[in-house]
Structure 1
Amino acid sequence: MMRDECSTQETYMLEVEGDAMEPTILEGDILEVDPLQEPKSNGQDLAVLKVHDKYHVCRFTRFGRQILMLHDNAPIVVVRREHVDIVGKVVGGTFINKENHSAGNTMV
């Protein structure tokens, strides 16, 4: 879904690839990720998850020993907890195509 663009000591930037989080996040958006912040598994926080060596941006929740990956524009994906690394929390972003984002969508 994304690739590493640049990094700083604590946070780093990722460029979004794919459309699983449209209209909230569009392909080409740059997201700031803080690996020191644990995203809440309440279906609200945007998280970066690593599943089988692939990175995903999504909201998520836990159900027993499973992680339910919640995308805005794709089906729910259920993955066993031991196959998921929670990489960090999305704490900001730069939207390259603001007019196509949903109304009121901001990240700071």
Structure 2
Amino acid sequence: METVDPRARLRDLAAGRGDSLAALSAMLGRNAAYLQQFVTRGSPRRLAADDRRRLADYFGVDEVALGADAGRPSFSLPRLDIAVSAGPGAYVDGEIVLGAAELDPALATRLGLREGEAAIVRVRGDSMEPGLVDGDLIVVDRARRSPDARGAVFVVRIDDTVMVKRVMRTPQELKVMSDNPAASPVPSGRVEIVGKVVWLMRQPR
């Protein structure tokens, strides 16, 4: 069986898309030299599991090509045909499964995810900038639907409108807010918590 050199594979994938290793490092939240050192010096010896998964998602390749162990268990998430609005709101008739994506099992464990209770959806609009921007893919844990007083980012349904907002619980009610101060007011209505946003899958910008 042919052995794949993950450093050479990453270099070729980046060159094929015209991406610099510095830009890819920035996508991972690392310093600009991180992937350059991995490719040219072999330091680190192996990519961290989270970094490897994000790069594999970005390039559309199996993580084995980037150094993951072959035969590892997988954690599958459905990708739903819903654009959760970070703007005025999106009306949806139902959930249509577009396909599935693999999440690193170690990351899924760290996030506390269980198969069948999480999904990937796309953000639309700018009302949650700078944290979430138009086109972002987010992982939503539908088993976590209880905001606390500190607040967190959730996908919510207000009447028939599905959106992603920051939600906190007050003694009187659930407070639903946008992060962008220039955003339009959140519509009034009955608030249903769909799930908590637990991970962001972002490509370099």
Query: TM (normalized to structure 2)?
Result: 0.40
Q: State the partner residue of 1:77.
A: 186
Number of aligned residues: 96
SS at match of 2:169: strand
Q: State the partner residue of 1:52.
A: 159
Post-superposition offset of 1:62: 3.4
SS at match of 1:46: strand
- Structure with bigger RCO (C-alpha 8 Å, 6+ apart): 1
C-alpha contact (below 8 Å) 1:58/1:71 kept by paired residues: yes
In structure 1, runs of 5+ residues without a counterpart are 100-108
C-alpha contact (below 8 Å) 2:152/2:168 kept by paired residues: no
CA root-mean-square deviation:
2.7
User: What one-letter code is carried by the residue in structure 2 that aligns with 1:37?
Assistant: R
Q: 2:130 aligns with which of 18, 23, 29?
A: 23
More helix by share: 2
Task: Tell which structure's C-alpha radius of gyration is larger.
Answer: 2
1:29-54: CA deviation from partner (whole Å, max 9, x where unpaired): 00000110124233531111100111
In structure 2, runs of 5+ residues without a counterpart are 1-84, 101-114
Q: State the partner residue of 1:10.
A: 117
Judged with a 3 Å threshold, the aligned counterparts in structure 2 of structure 1 residues 52 and 90 are, in CA distance, closer, same or farther, namely same
Percent identity between matched residues is: 28
C-alpha contact (below 8 Å) 1:48/1:55 kept by paired residues: yes
C-alpha contact (below 8 Å) 2:149/2:170 kept by paired residues: no
SS at match of 2:120: strand
Query: TM (normalized to structure 1)?
Result: 0.71
Q: State the partner residue of 1:103.
A: none
1:40-87: CA deviation from partner (whole Å, max 9, x where unpaired): 23353111110011111111123455432111112563745xx11111
1:41 aligns with 2:125: no
More strand by share: 1
